[in-house]
């Protein structure tokens, strides 16, 4: 298997790097400028590539597989957010003529303090997001070489740094579009083969409604299987009895709003040449993302079926081969080998009244479920290898992009602009690389002992983005009265509240004291706090300068005869 996987991965990354070299190595401007010259379709693909990360590819379907219906919040949150992004921000941002979110905040709110807070938040958000990606790279490498995941994370960290330094980060939208095609094929093809094998329906999006066995639709079979293992059902009418609806709502909102506030996604829209193209790009991006997301529920179902069928109530001696391979990574564990299998999943609580009476003997990390599924239905190794290729492409490209954002924000926006104005470019580059190495080390350490599965960790990044950036961006476009003092107070309060709640509940395992809202969803509350604070403080502080107000007045009109790019004084 590892031969297939290595051949696929080395082959495709050689191609990415080659094309990347040919069409110019990655600079910061290039990374942000996803679509300066290309068509909305290509730009949409490039955005989709940056969007489909380890969280989507490796972790999401596995998480849904374990949590059942309530996992749907990730599906709705990570697609519905594009509507917010397209309607509220995408067509207007490019008028500011900036490349990064901190730059935007600095200019719109005419204050370098606001810029510094934004910069600090952008680095934190990217770093948390990066932790999730590095965990994904580690899991893939651990499976390929059958080594403990901690070592694989060290290897993955080196690989990510190597890939970033080589300059293959931003090969432009041409390679990005190619990477999208590889990722989507690597997801849909294995899902299709599994779907055909289990249900006789080769289109993964449709497969769950087809017959799985004599018991009727596949979906019924899943709920039956899951109930025995203490897992929540897929079908909502039964599942909602076990959930806090307010929490589900908050997670959905946090993920959606986070989408429209995530620095490396928002900045894609700064450089699109027209409002019309920006809207089209967002629409195509969502279309391309939807192809994967609509297949995820089926894959989630197949993963639950495969794993429970082969482990639940079986003896250790009859454990399947794939289980033994994953055992070497430390991501699955059979605690008491003398007892038959009773599966539980790491990070996820069982539902008390569904739980079976026998004690759990097997612990499985939900992040392996997607990658393990082809083997649970005994498909040939190259199908698993294809999935691993897609997974590492998704994780590594996103990691490299985030690392570049961290490095350039630190070296250019922070060091050069605020500390040492006279730094020459070489020194800036060195500082940037230093920041990238430090960030990678921090993320590697963190992702060896993550507080949750990849989707959960990435959801924290979304929550922080929702609580920090979205209100300030949206008010910046729609409300000319929003002042710098308001933005500073709003961002600071949103960031501190959300950040400390996540640390308290996710890392120090305190009770979720705010209406039982889990740390994945607290960003929604942080966002409300940010909105309220920004509006309130803006009301009581002097209005923004006239030129800022005039500019905001016209920002939603694509072409105004007497207004050019930048800050014209039109009195």
SS3 labels along 69-102: HHHHHHHHHHHHHHHHHHHHHHHHHHHHCCCCHH
- Nearer to another protein among residue 91 and residue 490 (C-beta): 91
CA distance 322 to 105: 50
Q: Which residues contact 151 (CB under 8 A, 6 or more apart)?
A: 142
- Nearer to another protein among residue 302 and residue 410 (C-beta): 302
Pairing of strands 216-217, 211-213: antiparallel
227 part of the interface to another protein, by CB under 8 A: no
8-state DSSP, 341: P
158 part of the interface to another protein, by CB under 8 A: no
Q: Chain centroid to CA 62: how far?
A: 15
Residues binding another protein: number (CB under 8 A): 50
- Nearer to another protein among residue 274 and residue 333 (C-beta): 274
378 part of the interface to another protein, by CB under 8 A: no
Binding mask 251-290 for another protein (x = CB under 8 A): -x---x----------------xxxx--xx-xx--xx--x
- Nearer to another protein among residue 120 and residue 242 (C-beta): 242
Shortest Å, Cβ 235 to another protein = 5
Shortest Å, Cβ 328 to another protein = 34
Q: In the set 110, 210, 316, 567, which binds another protein (CB under 8 A)?
A: 210
- Nearer to another protein among residue 29 and residue 570 (C-beta): 570
DSSP, residue by residue, 345-381: ETT-PPPGGG--SSPP-EEE-GGGHHHHHHHHTT--H
Scanning 10-18, 237-245, 342-350, 376-384 for contacts with another protein by CB under 8 A, the matching segment is 237-245
Q: In the set 166, 235, 379, 496, which binds another protein (CB under 8 A)?
A: 235
Scanning 29-37, 99-107, 202-210, 335-343 for contacts with another protein by CB under 8 A, the matching segment is 202-210
97 part of the interface to another protein, by CB under 8 A: no
CA dihedral 400→273→472→544, nearest 10 degrees, is: 140
- What is the tally of helices (H) and strands (E) in the chain? 26, 5
Do 22 and 168 contact (CB within 8 A), yes or no? no
79 part of the interface to another protein, by CB under 8 A: yes
- Nearer to another protein among residue 51 and residue 82 (C-beta): 82
* CA 91 vs CA 259, 267, 278, 307, 556: distances in Å: 15, 12, 5, 45, 8
293 part of the interface to another protein, by CB under 8 A: yes
82 part of the interface to another protein, by CB under 8 A: yes
Closest by CA position to 299, among listed 566, 476, 66, 20: 66
Per DSSP, what are the bridge partners of residue 333? Answer: 363
CA distance 422 to 276: 40
**Half-sphere exposure in the Cβ direction for 115 (13 Å, CA):** 18
Q: In the set 1, 147, 240, 379, which binds another protein (CB under 8 A)?
A: 240
Residues that bind another protein (CB under 8 A): 69, 72, 75-76, 79-80, 82-84, 86-88, 91, 205-206, 208-210, 217, 219, 234-237, 240, 245, 248-249, 252, 256, 273-276, 279-280, 282-283, 286-287, 290, 293-294, 297, 556-561
């Amino acid at each position: 298997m590892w031969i297939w996987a290595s051949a696929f991965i080395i082959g495709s990354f050689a191609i990415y790097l080659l094309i990347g070299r040919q069409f110019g190595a990655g600079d910061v401007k290039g990374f942000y400028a996803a679509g300066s010259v290309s068509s909305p379709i290509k730009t949409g693909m490039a955005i989709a590539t940056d969007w489909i990360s380890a969280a989507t590819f490796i972790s999401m379907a596995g998480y849904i597989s374990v949590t059942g219906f309530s996992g749907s919040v990730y599906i709705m949150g990570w697609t519905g957010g594009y509507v917010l992004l397209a309607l509220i921000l995408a067509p207007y941002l490019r008028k500011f003529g900036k490349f990064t979110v901190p730059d935007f905040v600095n200019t719109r709110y005419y204050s370098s303090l606001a810029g510094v807070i934004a910069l600090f938040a952008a680095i934190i958000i990217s770093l948390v997001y990066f932790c999730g990606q590095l965990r994904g790279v580690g899991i893939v490498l651990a499976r390929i070489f059958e080594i403990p995941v901690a070592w694989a994370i060290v290897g993955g960290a080196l690989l990510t740094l190597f890939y970033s330094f080589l300059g293959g980060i931003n090969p432009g939208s041409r390679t990005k579009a190619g990477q999208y095609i590889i990722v989507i094929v690597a997801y849909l093809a294995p899902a299709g083969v599994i779907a055909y094998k289990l249900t006789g329906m080769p289109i993964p999006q449709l497969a769950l409604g087809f017959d799985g066995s004599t018991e009727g639709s596949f979906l019924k079979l899943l709920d039956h299987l899951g109930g025995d293992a203490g897992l929540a059902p897929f079908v909502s009418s039964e599942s909602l009895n076990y959930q806090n609806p307010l929490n589900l709502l908050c997670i959905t909102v946090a993920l959606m709003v986070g989408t429209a506030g995530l620095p490396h996604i928002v900045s894609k829209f700064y450089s699109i040449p027209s409002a019309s193209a920006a809207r089209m790009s967002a629409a195509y991006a969502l279309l391309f993302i939807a192809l994967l997301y609509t297949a995820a529920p089926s894959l989630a179902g197949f993963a639950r079926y495969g794993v429970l069928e082969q482990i639940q109530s079986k003896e250790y001696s009859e454990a399947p081969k794939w289980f033994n391979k994953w055992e070497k990574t430390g991501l699955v564990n059979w605690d008491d080998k003398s007892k038959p299998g009773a599966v539980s999943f790491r990070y996820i609580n069982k539902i008390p009244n569904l739980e079976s009476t026998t004690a759990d003997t097997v612990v499985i990390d939900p992040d392996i479920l997607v990658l393990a599924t082809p083997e649970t239905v005994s498909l040939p190794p190259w199908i698993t290898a294809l999935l691993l290729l897609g997974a590492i492409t998704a994780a590594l490209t996103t990691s490299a992009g985030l690392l570049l954002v961290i490095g350039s924000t630190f070296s250019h926006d922070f060091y050069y602009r605020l500390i040492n104005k006279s730094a020459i470019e070489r020194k800036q580059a060195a500082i940037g690389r230093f920041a990238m190495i430090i960030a990678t080390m921090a993320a590697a350490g963190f992702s060896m002992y993550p507080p949750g599965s990849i989707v959960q960790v990435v959801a924290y990044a979304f929550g922080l983005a929702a609580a920090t950036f979205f209100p300030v961006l949206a008010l910046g476009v729609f409300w000319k009265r929003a002042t710098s003092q308001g933005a500073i107070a709003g961002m600071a309060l949103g960031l501190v509240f959300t950040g400390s709640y996540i640390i308290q509940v996710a890392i120090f395992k305190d009770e979720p004291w705010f209406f039982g809202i889990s740390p994945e969803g607290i960003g929604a509350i942080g966002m409300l706090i940010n909105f309220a604070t920004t509006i309130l403080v803006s009301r009581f502080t002097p209005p923004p300068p006239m030129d800022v107000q005039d500019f905001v007045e016209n920002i939603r009109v694509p072409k105004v005869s007497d207004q050019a790019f930048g800050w014209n004084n039109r009195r």
